[in-house]
């Protein structure tokens, strides 16, 4: 009887496909993915997206273990390694924005007006050695951390082990709060910084250096090769949607009402250029 009931229940309940997607905390916390998923679900009633927000390293690891069906990440070098091993396929660039160097408004290292990010880092290094500045690093092999290390390399410096260089080993929001408390500099994605600033959690930090191709932050989406069936079909469709005209429109305007400016730029109009930059980042950061 119970078995019959359960079978009937299963047969007559509209079957909902759950699509699991792992992503980085910084992207997830902006709410962009939820907005994209909401729109997608409006048209496809029997699909529901479940986002697992973790560090980029773990997001890709979850893909490798087959625990998720898609990944939305921003670390070209790490992505490249998993693409090469055939774990993730069908990469699409769907958004980009820029990293910013933030620090105390008093700017003890004087990085305002630096000509490049590497130059700004050199100034921080000098001020650090002189005991006038601190730098908090993510230190967690995240997309942001990987980028920070490549800027140090561009600057020809190795800050590791220096007393003023603090490796936090935590997420972006925690690292920003630490930098704010310590009156230190750090590298952040613009969206996490703005959302924390908006919440009043950062009283000392300001954007001191921004712009430039060297600080571009490229977000890509992939399907996990080991995923199959309806889940994979919807995962592929969702990625198409995010990179397609409707998704790109959402990307272009997202964040305007809350932060007064969009948090991301749509990738579609600059795709060739972004692909070249992505290749460069995937290869150059070792």
Interacting residues with another protein (CB under 8 A) = 54-55, 57-58, 60-62, 64, 139-141, 161, 166-171, 174, 178, 180-182, 203
Nearer residue to another protein within complex by CB, 55 or 266: 55
Residue 119, C-beta contacts closer than 8 angstroms, at least 6 positions apart: 155
**CA-CA distance, 178 to 180, in Å (whole number)?**
5
Nearer residue to another protein within complex by CB, 54 or 69: 54
Nearer residue to another protein within complex by CB, 166 or 197: 166
* Shortest distance in whole angstroms from residue 226 CB to another protein: 16
* Shortest distance in whole angstroms from residue 253 CB to another protein: 31
* Shortest distance in whole angstroms from residue 281 CB to another protein: 19
Nearer residue to another protein within complex by CB, 110 or 139: 139
Nearer residue to another protein within complex by CB, 61 or 153: 61
Nearer residue to another protein within complex by CB, 161 or 245: 161
* Shortest distance in whole angstroms from residue 175 CB to another protein: 9
């Amino acid at each position: 009887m119970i078995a019959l009931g359960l079978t009937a229940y299963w047969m007559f309940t509209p079957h909902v496909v759950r699509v699991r997607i792992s992503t980085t905390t910084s992207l997830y916390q902006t709410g962009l993915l939820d907005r994209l998923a909401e729109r997608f679900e409006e048209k496809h009633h029997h699909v529901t997206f479940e986002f697992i927000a973790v560090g980029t390293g773990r997001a890709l690891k979850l893909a490798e273990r087959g625990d998720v069906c898609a990944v939305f990440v921003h670390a070209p070098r790490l992505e490249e390694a998993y693409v090469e091993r055939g774990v993730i396929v069908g990469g699409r660039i769907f958004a980009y924005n820029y990293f910013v160097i933030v620090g105390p408004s008093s700017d003890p290292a004087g990085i305002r007006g630096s000509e490049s990010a590497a130059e700004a880092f050199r100034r921080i290094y000098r001020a650090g050695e002189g005991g006038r500045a601190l730098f908090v690093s993510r230190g967690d092999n995240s997309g942001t951390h990987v980028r920070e290390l490549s800027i140090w390399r561009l600057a020809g410096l190795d800050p590791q082990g220096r007393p003023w260089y603090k490796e936090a080993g935590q997420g972006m929001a925690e690292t920003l709060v630490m930098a704010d408390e310590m009156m230190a500099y750090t590298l952040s994605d613009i969206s996490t910084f703005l959302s924390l600033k908006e919440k009043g959690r950062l009283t000392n930090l300001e954007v001191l250096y921004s712009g430039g191709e060297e600080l571009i932050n490229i977000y890509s989406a992939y399907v996990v090769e080991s995923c199959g069936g309806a889940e994979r079909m919807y995962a592929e469709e969702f990625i198409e949607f995010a990179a397609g005209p409707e998704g790109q429109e959402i990307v272009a305007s997202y964040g305007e009402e809350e932060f007064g400016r969009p948090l991301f730029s749509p990738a579609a109009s600059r795709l060739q250029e972004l692909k070249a930059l992505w290749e460069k980042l995937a290869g150059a950061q070792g």
